[in-house]
Amino acid sequence: MKRAVVFLLACTWALFAAAQANLDVSSLAIDQYTKSMAQRFPKLRPWYQNGAVGLAKNGDVVLRDPGAVPLDQRQEVTRLVAAENEDRAGLYRAIARANGNPAWAPDIRATFAQRWIEHAPAGWWVQNATGAWEKK
């Protein structure tokens, strides 16, 4: 019970702190990360759609079912996932810096993770709060 209360307080604090941040702030770094992610998305979309790639509860993209990717394409999908996660981490840091508080990056990550999972289209795989994979 105590763990559940601590977890709920931590989640509440994370959402509160991130809510104080301007998530729509702009900077050159933010623009570069979002452009890179937008250019990569068409290459990742089919892998989200077939369930090979999913959205993790921590805001990362995960190659959750490597068997759903033909062997000759697996290295490329792994590279795309790694590049996406690097850009996402950079984006969270850039938003925190643009808000004048680099320490907010973990809270911003948590907020984005929640939003991406909430807005994922039907048929995509997402991790729930316990870490189990669910098809939306």
Around Cβ 110, how many Cβ atoms within 10 Å?
Answer: 21
pLDDT above 60 for 12: no
pTM: 0.83
Mean pLDDT of 91-103: 95
pLDDT of residue 91: 96
pLDDT of residue 108: 95
pLDDT of residue 77: 98
Mean pLDDT of 25-33: 93
What's the rounded Cα separation, in Å, for the pair 115 and 103? 20
What's the rounded Cα separation, in Å, for the pair 133 and 57? 9
pLDDT of residue 6: 39
In the numeric block, which tokens belong to residue 9?
A: 């307080």
pLDDT of residue 25: 87
